Amino acid sequence: MNNLFTELENQNKQIPLAEILRPKTIEEFLGQSNVVSPNSPILNLLKTNRLFSIILWGTPGSGKTTLARLIATKTNANFIEISAVTSGVKDIKDAVESAKNSLRSGIKTILFIDEIHRYSKTQQDALLPHLENGTLFLIGSTTENPSFQVVPALLSRVQVIRLNSIDDESMKAIIKKGFAYLAKHYTAMDCESGVLDFIVNLARGDARYALNVVENAYFASDLKDNRRNLTVSIIEEICQKRNTRYSQQEHYDCASAFQKSLRGSDPDAAIYYLAKMIAAGEDPRFIARRLIVCAAEDVGLADPNAMNIAVNAYKAVELLGLPEGRIPLALAVIYVAKAPKNNKAIMAIDEALSDIANGKDFPPPMHLRDAHYKDAKKYGFGIGYIYSHDAPDIYQQFMPDELKNRKYLQN
Protein backbone atom coordinates (compact mmCIF):
# COMPACT_ATOMS: atom_id res chain seq x y z
CA MET A 1 0.00 0.00 0.00
CA ASN A 2 2.82 2.40 0.92
CA ASN A 3 4.64 1.60 -2.34
CA LEU A 4 1.46 2.34 -4.31
CA PHE A 5 1.01 5.67 -2.51
CA THR A 6 4.63 6.66 -3.21
CA GLU A 7 4.24 5.74 -6.88
CA LEU A 8 1.06 7.83 -7.22
CA GLU A 9 2.71 10.72 -5.39
CA ASN A 10 5.65 10.68 -7.80
CA GLN A 11 3.31 10.57 -10.79
CA ASN A 12 1.45 13.64 -9.56
CA LYS A 13 4.56 15.56 -8.62
CA GLN A 14 5.05 18.71 -10.70
CA ILE A 15 8.73 19.56 -10.96
CA PRO A 16 9.35 23.26 -11.70
CA LEU A 17 10.97 24.11 -15.01
CA ALA A 18 13.83 25.84 -13.18
CA GLU A 19 14.67 22.53 -11.48
CA ILE A 20 14.35 20.50 -14.68
CA LEU A 21 16.74 22.81 -16.54
CA ARG A 22 19.26 23.15 -13.73
CA PRO A 23 22.72 22.73 -15.37
CA LYS A 24 24.19 19.24 -15.09
CA THR A 25 27.78 20.21 -15.96
CA ILE A 26 30.09 23.17 -15.34
CA GLU A 27 30.05 23.84 -19.10
CA GLU A 28 26.26 24.42 -18.98
CA PHE A 29 26.56 26.85 -16.08
CA LEU A 30 25.84 30.34 -17.50
CA GLY A 31 26.31 33.86 -16.22
CA GLN A 32 29.28 33.41 -13.88
CA SER A 33 32.26 33.50 -16.23
CA ASN A 34 34.28 35.31 -13.54
CA VAL A 35 33.97 32.21 -11.33
CA VAL A 36 34.01 29.24 -13.73
CA SER A 37 35.91 30.51 -16.77
CA PRO A 38 38.33 27.98 -18.36
CA ASN A 39 41.34 29.21 -16.36
CA SER A 40 39.59 30.41 -13.21
CA PRO A 41 41.23 29.41 -9.88
CA ILE A 42 38.11 27.49 -8.79
CA LEU A 43 37.95 25.40 -11.95
CA ASN A 44 41.68 24.69 -11.80
CA LEU A 45 41.31 23.46 -8.22
CA LEU A 46 38.36 21.27 -9.18
CA LYS A 47 40.35 19.73 -12.04
CA THR A 48 42.89 18.50 -9.47
CA ASN A 49 40.03 17.07 -7.37
CA ARG A 50 40.86 19.48 -4.55
CA LEU A 51 38.04 20.52 -2.24
CA PHE A 52 37.91 23.61 -0.08
CA SER A 53 35.25 25.28 2.06
CA ILE A 54 33.51 28.27 0.51
CA ILE A 55 30.61 30.60 1.01
CA LEU A 56 28.77 31.61 -2.16
CA TRP A 57 27.39 35.11 -1.83
CA GLY A 58 24.98 36.31 -4.50
CA THR A 59 21.52 37.56 -5.34
CA PRO A 60 18.57 35.14 -5.61
CA GLY A 61 18.69 33.03 -8.77
CA SER A 62 22.39 33.66 -9.44
CA GLY A 63 23.23 29.94 -9.32
CA LYS A 64 24.55 29.33 -5.79
CA THR A 65 22.83 25.98 -5.23
CA THR A 66 23.56 24.85 -8.78
CA LEU A 67 27.26 25.65 -8.46
CA ALA A 68 27.46 23.77 -5.15
CA ARG A 69 25.92 20.66 -6.73
CA LEU A 70 28.21 20.90 -9.75
CA ILE A 71 31.28 21.12 -7.52
CA ALA A 72 30.15 17.95 -5.72
CA THR A 73 29.59 16.18 -9.05
CA LYS A 74 32.95 17.32 -10.44
CA THR A 75 34.82 16.01 -7.38
CA ASN A 76 32.72 12.85 -6.87
CA ALA A 77 31.97 13.98 -3.33
CA ASN A 78 29.18 12.87 -1.03
CA PHE A 79 26.73 15.80 -1.10
CA ILE A 80 24.53 16.64 1.89
CA GLU A 81 22.11 19.52 1.42
CA ILE A 82 20.30 21.24 4.30
CA SER A 83 18.58 24.59 4.79
CA ALA A 84 19.45 26.91 7.66
CA VAL A 85 15.75 27.77 7.89
CA THR A 86 14.68 24.25 8.88
CA SER A 87 17.83 22.66 10.32
CA GLY A 88 19.92 22.96 13.47
CA VAL A 89 22.86 21.51 15.38
CA LYS A 90 21.38 17.98 15.28
CA ASP A 91 21.36 18.06 11.47
CA ILE A 92 25.00 19.15 11.50
CA LYS A 93 25.86 16.21 13.80
CA ASP A 94 24.04 13.83 11.47
CA ALA A 95 25.98 15.23 8.51
CA VAL A 96 29.26 14.77 10.41
CA GLU A 97 28.46 11.10 11.08
CA SER A 98 27.62 10.59 7.40
CA ALA A 99 30.88 12.29 6.43
CA LYS A 100 32.88 10.02 8.75
CA ASN A 101 31.27 6.94 7.21
CA SER A 102 32.06 8.22 3.71
CA LEU A 103 35.68 8.90 4.67
CA ARG A 104 36.11 5.24 5.60
CA SER A 105 35.38 4.51 1.93
CA GLY A 106 37.74 7.24 0.79
CA ILE A 107 34.94 9.61 -0.26
CA LYS A 108 34.95 13.27 0.74
CA THR A 109 31.78 15.03 1.88
CA ILE A 110 30.42 18.47 1.01
CA LEU A 111 27.85 19.89 3.42
CA PHE A 112 25.79 22.49 1.58
CA ILE A 113 23.90 24.88 3.86
CA ASP A 114 21.41 27.08 2.05
CA GLU A 115 20.85 30.54 3.58
CA ILE A 116 23.68 30.02 6.06
CA HIS A 117 23.26 33.62 7.28
CA ARG A 118 20.16 32.43 9.15
CA TYR A 119 22.22 30.20 11.44
CA SER A 120 22.87 31.53 14.94
CA LYS A 121 26.40 31.97 16.30
CA THR A 122 26.07 28.67 18.19
CA GLN A 123 25.00 26.81 15.06
CA GLN A 124 27.84 28.31 13.03
CA ASP A 125 30.35 27.50 15.77
CA ALA A 126 29.21 23.84 15.66
CA LEU A 127 30.76 23.58 12.17
CA LEU A 128 34.22 24.77 13.14
CA PRO A 129 35.94 21.63 14.51
CA HIS A 130 34.74 19.50 11.59
CA LEU A 131 36.09 21.95 9.02
CA GLU A 132 39.30 22.23 11.00
CA ASN A 133 40.02 18.49 11.00
CA GLY A 134 38.83 17.87 7.43
CA THR A 135 35.85 15.67 8.30
CA LEU A 136 33.76 17.59 5.78
CA PHE A 137 33.90 20.62 3.50
CA LEU A 138 31.36 23.40 3.75
CA ILE A 139 29.61 25.22 0.94
CA GLY A 140 27.29 27.87 2.33
CA SER A 141 25.01 30.07 0.27
CA THR A 142 23.76 33.49 1.27
CA THR A 143 22.09 36.53 -0.23
CA GLU A 144 23.52 38.68 2.59
CA ASN A 145 27.03 40.04 2.97
CA PRO A 146 28.96 37.33 4.90
CA SER A 147 31.02 40.03 6.60
CA PHE A 148 27.88 41.05 8.50
CA GLN A 149 26.14 37.68 8.89
CA VAL A 150 28.84 35.02 9.36
CA VAL A 151 30.93 34.77 12.53
CA PRO A 152 34.63 35.69 12.11
CA ALA A 153 35.82 32.23 13.22
CA LEU A 154 33.90 30.60 10.37
CA LEU A 155 34.88 33.28 7.85
CA SER A 156 38.55 32.61 8.58
CA ARG A 157 38.08 28.97 7.53
CA VAL A 158 36.31 29.56 4.20
CA GLN A 159 36.76 31.42 0.95
CA VAL A 160 33.98 33.87 0.06
CA ILE A 161 33.04 33.82 -3.62
CA ARG A 162 30.83 36.60 -4.97
CA LEU A 163 28.36 35.56 -7.66
CA ASN A 164 27.04 38.29 -9.94
CA SER A 165 23.47 38.67 -11.09
CA ILE A 166 23.07 36.79 -14.38
CA ASP A 167 23.99 39.08 -17.27
CA ASP A 168 21.41 39.83 -19.97
CA GLU A 169 22.97 37.67 -22.70
CA SER A 170 23.18 34.64 -20.43
CA MET A 171 19.65 35.31 -19.22
CA LYS A 172 18.36 35.34 -22.80
CA ALA A 173 20.03 31.98 -23.42
CA ILE A 174 18.41 30.53 -20.28
CA ILE A 175 14.96 31.84 -21.26
CA LYS A 176 15.28 30.47 -24.81
CA LYS A 177 16.27 27.12 -23.35
CA GLY A 178 13.11 27.18 -21.23
CA PHE A 179 10.84 27.92 -24.18
CA ALA A 180 12.57 25.28 -26.30
CA TYR A 181 12.02 22.64 -23.62
CA LEU A 182 8.32 23.48 -23.27
CA ALA A 183 7.75 23.55 -27.02
CA LYS A 184 9.47 20.17 -27.41
CA HIS A 185 7.66 18.38 -24.58
CA TYR A 186 4.24 20.01 -24.86
CA THR A 187 3.02 22.23 -27.71
CA ALA A 188 4.73 24.47 -30.27
CA MET A 189 4.50 28.19 -29.59
CA ASP A 190 4.71 31.64 -31.09
CA CYS A 191 6.22 34.55 -29.14
CA GLU A 192 5.26 38.17 -29.64
CA SER A 193 8.16 40.51 -30.37
CA GLY A 194 9.53 41.91 -27.14
CA VAL A 195 8.68 38.94 -24.90
CA LEU A 196 12.31 37.94 -24.45
CA ASP A 197 13.52 41.41 -23.47
CA PHE A 198 10.48 41.90 -21.23
CA ILE A 199 11.29 38.78 -19.20
CA VAL A 200 14.97 39.73 -19.00
CA ASN A 201 14.08 43.15 -17.59
CA LEU A 202 11.50 41.63 -15.25
CA ALA A 203 13.88 39.00 -13.86
CA ARG A 204 16.74 41.40 -13.12
CA GLY A 205 19.43 38.73 -13.12
CA ASP A 206 17.38 36.06 -11.30
CA ALA A 207 17.41 32.91 -13.48
CA ARG A 208 14.97 31.00 -11.26
CA TYR A 209 12.44 33.81 -11.44
CA ALA A 210 12.87 34.08 -15.22
CA LEU A 211 12.18 30.37 -15.73
CA ASN A 212 9.16 30.52 -13.42
CA VAL A 213 7.79 33.35 -15.57
CA VAL A 214 8.50 31.35 -18.73
CA GLU A 215 6.68 28.29 -17.37
CA ASN A 216 3.65 30.14 -16.00
CA ALA A 217 3.28 32.38 -19.05
CA TYR A 218 3.53 29.41 -21.40
CA PHE A 219 0.68 27.48 -19.76
CA ALA A 220 -1.40 30.66 -19.31
CA SER A 221 -1.13 31.64 -22.99
CA ASP A 222 -3.83 31.11 -25.63
CA LEU A 223 -3.92 27.67 -27.21
CA LYS A 224 -5.20 27.76 -30.78
CA ASP A 225 -4.71 25.22 -33.56
CA ASN A 226 -2.46 23.27 -31.22
CA ARG A 227 -0.06 26.21 -30.80
CA ARG A 228 0.58 28.54 -27.88
CA ASN A 229 0.56 32.29 -28.49
CA LEU A 230 2.61 34.11 -25.87
CA THR A 231 2.33 37.91 -25.55
CA VAL A 232 3.78 40.59 -23.28
CA SER A 233 0.29 41.40 -21.97
CA ILE A 234 -0.11 37.82 -20.68
CA ILE A 235 3.16 38.11 -18.76
CA GLU A 236 2.14 41.51 -17.38
CA GLU A 237 -1.16 40.07 -16.18
CA ILE A 238 0.48 37.07 -14.49
CA CYS A 239 3.37 38.93 -12.86
CA GLN A 240 1.56 42.19 -12.11
CA LYS A 241 4.21 43.80 -9.89
CA ARG A 242 7.77 42.56 -9.40
CA ASN A 243 9.00 43.28 -5.89
CA THR A 244 12.18 45.33 -5.69
CA ARG A 245 15.17 43.19 -4.74
CA TYR A 246 16.51 44.71 -1.55
CA SER A 247 18.71 42.77 0.84
CA GLN A 248 20.42 44.18 3.91
CA GLN A 249 23.54 44.72 1.82
CA GLU A 250 21.51 46.64 -0.77
CA HIS A 251 20.06 48.77 2.02
CA TYR A 252 23.58 50.00 2.78
CA ASP A 253 24.62 50.12 -0.89
CA CYS A 254 21.62 52.23 -1.95
CA ALA A 255 22.01 54.60 0.99
CA SER A 256 25.68 55.00 0.07
CA ALA A 257 24.94 55.58 -3.63
CA PHE A 258 22.15 58.02 -2.71
CA GLN A 259 24.43 60.17 -0.57
CA LYS A 260 27.30 60.04 -3.04
CA SER A 261 24.97 61.09 -5.87
CA LEU A 262 23.83 64.07 -3.80
CA ARG A 263 27.45 64.95 -3.04
CA GLY A 264 28.35 64.60 -6.71
CA SER A 265 25.54 66.98 -7.76
CA ASP A 266 23.69 64.41 -9.86
CA PRO A 267 19.97 65.00 -9.19
CA ASP A 268 18.85 62.29 -11.62
CA ALA A 269 20.87 59.58 -9.90
CA ALA A 270 19.80 60.84 -6.48
CA ILE A 271 16.12 60.69 -7.51
CA TYR A 272 16.62 57.17 -8.87
CA TYR A 273 18.08 55.89 -5.59
CA LEU A 274 15.35 57.73 -3.69
CA ALA A 275 12.76 55.88 -5.80
CA LYS A 276 14.54 52.55 -5.33
CA MET A 277 14.55 52.95 -1.56
CA ILE A 278 10.90 54.02 -1.45
CA ALA A 279 9.85 51.12 -3.70
CA ALA A 280 11.73 48.68 -1.46
CA GLY A 281 9.82 49.89 1.59
CA GLU A 282 12.66 51.83 3.21
CA ASP A 283 11.62 53.97 6.18
CA PRO A 284 11.23 57.47 4.64
CA ARG A 285 12.57 58.98 7.87
CA PHE A 286 15.82 57.10 7.31
CA ILE A 287 16.03 58.60 3.81
CA ALA A 288 15.32 62.07 5.19
CA ARG A 289 18.04 61.67 7.83
CA ARG A 290 20.55 60.78 5.09
CA LEU A 291 19.43 63.92 3.27
CA ILE A 292 19.99 66.08 6.37
CA VAL A 293 23.47 64.63 6.80
CA CYS A 294 24.33 65.46 3.19
CA ALA A 295 22.95 68.99 3.48
CA ALA A 296 25.19 69.58 6.50
CA GLU A 297 28.25 67.65 5.39
CA ASP A 298 28.44 68.28 1.66
CA VAL A 299 26.50 71.49 0.98
CA GLY A 300 27.35 73.08 4.30
CA LEU A 301 28.43 76.71 4.18
CA ALA A 302 27.92 76.97 0.42
CA ASP A 303 24.13 77.13 0.93
CA PRO A 304 22.97 77.00 4.57
CA ASN A 305 19.34 76.99 3.37
CA ALA A 306 19.83 73.40 2.17
CA MET A 307 19.88 72.31 5.80
CA ASN A 308 16.53 74.01 6.45
CA ILE A 309 14.98 72.36 3.40
CA ALA A 310 16.26 68.91 4.39
CA VAL A 311 14.98 69.25 7.97
CA ASN A 312 11.60 70.48 6.70
CA ALA A 313 11.43 67.47 4.35
CA TYR A 314 11.88 65.21 7.38
CA LYS A 315 9.04 66.99 9.19
CA ALA A 316 6.83 66.80 6.10
CA VAL A 317 7.43 63.05 5.79
CA GLU A 318 6.45 62.59 9.45
CA LEU A 319 3.25 64.58 8.87
CA LEU A 320 2.28 63.04 5.54
CA GLY A 321 3.75 59.56 5.46
CA LEU A 322 3.86 57.76 2.13
CA PRO A 323 2.96 58.00 -0.69
CA GLU A 324 2.49 61.79 -0.38
CA GLY A 325 5.77 62.16 1.50
CA ARG A 326 7.67 61.23 -1.64
CA ILE A 327 6.97 64.72 -3.03
CA PRO A 328 8.71 66.86 -0.36
CA LEU A 329 11.47 64.27 -0.29
CA ALA A 330 11.96 64.61 -4.06
CA LEU A 331 11.94 68.41 -3.81
CA ALA A 332 14.57 68.36 -1.09
CA VAL A 333 16.69 65.78 -2.90
CA ILE A 334 16.76 67.87 -6.08
CA TYR A 335 17.60 71.03 -4.12
CA VAL A 336 20.45 69.43 -2.16
CA ALA A 337 21.85 67.71 -5.28
CA LYS A 338 21.88 70.95 -7.29
CA ALA A 339 23.19 73.14 -4.44
CA PRO A 340 26.85 74.25 -4.46
CA LYS A 341 29.07 72.13 -2.23
CA ASN A 342 31.37 73.01 0.66
CA ASN A 343 32.62 70.45 3.19
CA LYS A 344 34.63 72.83 5.40
CA ALA A 345 32.34 72.30 8.39
CA ILE A 346 32.87 68.54 8.60
CA MET A 347 36.57 68.92 7.86
CA ALA A 348 36.89 71.42 10.70
CA ILE A 349 35.05 69.37 13.33
CA ASP A 350 36.77 66.12 12.35
CA GLU A 351 40.20 67.73 12.51
CA ALA A 352 39.44 69.14 15.97
CA LEU A 353 38.15 65.77 17.17
CA SER A 354 41.30 64.13 15.79
CA ASP A 355 43.49 66.55 17.74
CA ILE A 356 41.63 65.81 20.96
CA ALA A 357 41.78 62.04 20.36
CA ASN A 358 45.56 62.35 19.84
CA GLY A 359 46.19 63.99 23.20
CA LYS A 360 45.67 67.68 22.39
CA ASP A 361 42.97 67.95 25.04
CA PHE A 362 43.67 71.28 26.70
CA PRO A 363 41.60 73.46 29.06
CA PRO A 364 40.34 76.91 27.99
CA PRO A 365 42.47 79.98 28.81
CA MET A 366 41.90 81.37 32.31
CA HIS A 367 40.05 84.49 31.10
CA LEU A 368 37.40 82.37 29.29
CA ARG A 369 36.54 80.10 32.20
CA ASP A 370 33.24 80.27 34.06
CA ALA A 371 33.31 83.19 36.50
CA HIS A 372 29.68 83.49 37.59
CA TYR A 373 30.16 82.03 41.07
CA LYS A 374 31.57 83.67 44.20
CA ASP A 375 35.05 82.15 44.40
CA ALA A 376 35.86 82.17 40.68
CA LYS A 377 38.04 85.27 40.72
CA LYS A 378 39.99 83.81 43.67
CA TYR A 379 41.19 81.12 41.24
CA GLY A 380 41.84 83.61 38.46
CA PHE A 381 38.86 82.49 36.37
CA GLY A 382 37.38 85.10 34.04
CA ILE A 383 39.93 87.80 34.84
CA GLY A 384 40.79 89.85 31.76
CA TYR A 385 37.84 88.70 29.65
CA ILE A 386 36.53 91.41 27.30
CA TYR A 387 32.83 91.37 26.41
CA SER A 388 33.06 91.13 22.61
CA HIS A 389 29.96 93.26 21.93
CA ASP A 390 31.53 96.16 23.84
CA ALA A 391 34.89 95.95 22.09
CA PRO A 392 34.58 93.89 18.90
CA ASP A 393 37.89 95.21 17.49
CA ILE A 394 40.06 94.24 20.44
CA TYR A 395 41.92 90.95 19.99
CA GLN A 396 41.33 88.17 22.46
CA GLN A 397 42.79 84.69 22.48
CA PHE A 398 40.02 82.10 22.51
CA MET A 399 42.05 78.97 21.76
CA PRO A 400 43.87 77.12 24.55
CA ASP A 401 47.42 78.43 24.96
CA GLU A 402 48.89 75.27 23.47
CA LEU A 403 46.82 75.70 20.27
CA LYS A 404 46.68 79.48 19.95
CA ASN A 405 47.72 79.48 16.28
CA ARG A 406 45.78 76.35 15.25
CA LYS A 407 43.29 76.79 12.38
CA TYR A 408 40.47 74.32 11.75
CA LEU A 409 38.32 76.28 9.31
CA GLN A 410 40.20 76.48 6.03
CA ASN A 411 39.69 79.61 3.95
Tens digits of residue pLDDT in 207-243: 999 999 999 999 998 888 888 998 888 888 888 766 5
Task: For domain 32-163, give the CATH number.
Answer: 3.40.50.300
Q: What is the pLDDT of residue 379?
A: 83
Domain ranges of the chain: 32-163, 168-239, 248-338, 358-403
Least confident of 87-96, 195-204, 236-245, 282-291: 236-245
Q: What is the pLDDT of residue 29?
A: 87
Fold observed for domain 168-239: Helicase, Ruva Protein; domain 3 (1.10.8)
Q: Is the pLDDT of residue 9 over 50?
A: no
What would the 3-class secondary structure string for 329-398 be? HHHHHHHHHHCCCCCHHHHHHHHHHHHHHCCCCCCCCHHHCCCCCCCCHHHCCCCCCCCCCCCCCCCCCC
Q: Which residues contact 370 (CB under 8 A, 6 or more apart)?
A: 376, 381, 382
Alpha helices in 264-343 (DSSP H): 267-279, 284-294, 305-320, 326-338
CA distance 170 to 207: 9
The candidate with the shortest Cα–Cα distance to 218, out of 175, 274, 264, is: 175
CB 177, CB 106: distance < 8 Å: no
Q: Classify domain 248-338 at the CATH class level.
A: mainly alpha
Q: In Å, what is the CA distance from 295 to each residue of 159, 188, 351?
A: 40, 59, 20
CA distance 49 to 100: 19
Q: Is the pLDDT of residue 73 over 60?
A: yes
pLDDT in tens, 164-184: 888 889 999 999 999 999 999
Q: Is the pLDDT of residue 109 over 80?
A: yes
Mean pLDDT of 125-136: 92
In this prediction the pTM is 0.67
Q: Is the pLDDT of residue 326 over 50?
A: yes
CB 261, CB 222: distance < 8 Å: no
Q: What is the pLDDT of residue 210?
A: 92
Mean pLDDT of all residues belonging to the chain: 89
